[in-house]
Amino acid sequence: MVETAYRVAMDCGEIDDMASDWDLIEFLRLDSPAMRWQLLKRRFDDKYRKQMKKAHQVVPEDSSVALRENRTARGVEKTETLRPVNGVSKHFLRWFVLWHAYPRLDVNVSTDQIDIFDVVSGLNHLLKSPFCIHPKTGNVAVPLDVGKIHEFDVTTCPRVDILVNELSKTIADEDVKENRKILGYKHTSLAPYVENFEKFVALAVSS
């Protein structure tokens, strides 16, 4: 299951964009987030390593050296051999990807910290049930369309006070009053998220 989750995250391409856009791997001493991410994949991802080897591209031989020097930035001046990654280090990229790509479910999600990266805690915040209300902000936990995940803006997320106002306006509409079959939420900012949830449930049932 863990390997499948890792493979899905790697193959979808989203983690590549996220690693570069968020500069998640700033601790590596190479010229850009994109270069650092490519080097990590070349060293730790078996599928990517095989692709590079097939394309006759260089794969770093020693991670402790390759990650600390700018050989890749200079085009890697010497030919290096492909060796399998052994020991605990072979799981590094899986740990890195799963930590940043999937939400945590434990109660200490807001207090945990990764010492190796000195990352601010709460990057992958607690996964909530659909449509529950955050007690402090009033924001509604909404199902997202993964195909449009980059378009989501938390500042425009449905809020319970806004929904109450939207429903009040709907009820005040005489046409809506007379037709009780019309669902109130369809006239609020919650509507597209309910549609996302319905699509998810329909797909889950059909599977």
CA–CA separation, 11 and 121 (whole Å): 26
Mean pLDDT, rounded, of the chain = 68
Torsion angle defined by CA atoms of residues 142, 147, 151 and 157, in that order, rounded to the nearest 10 degrees? -10
Q: Are 161 and 138 a contacting pair, CB within 8 Å?
A: yes
3-state secondary structure of 35: helix
The residue with greater pLDDT, 35 or 118, is: 35
Q: Are 39 and 27 in contact (CB under 8 A)?
A: no
67, pLDDT greater than 50: no
Cβ atoms of 24 and 116 closer than 8 Å: no
Beta carbons of 128 and 122 less than 8 angstroms apart: no
- Arithmetic mean of pLDDT, 142-146: 87
Judgement on whether residues 5 and 93 belong to the same structural domain of the protein = yes
**159 and 94 within one domain:** no
Rg (CA), the chain: 23
Whether 16 and 95 map to the same domain: the answer is: yes
Residue 73 in any domain: the answer is no
* Same-domain status, 136 and 97: no
pTM of the model: 0.45
Range of the domain at 26: 1-64+87-101
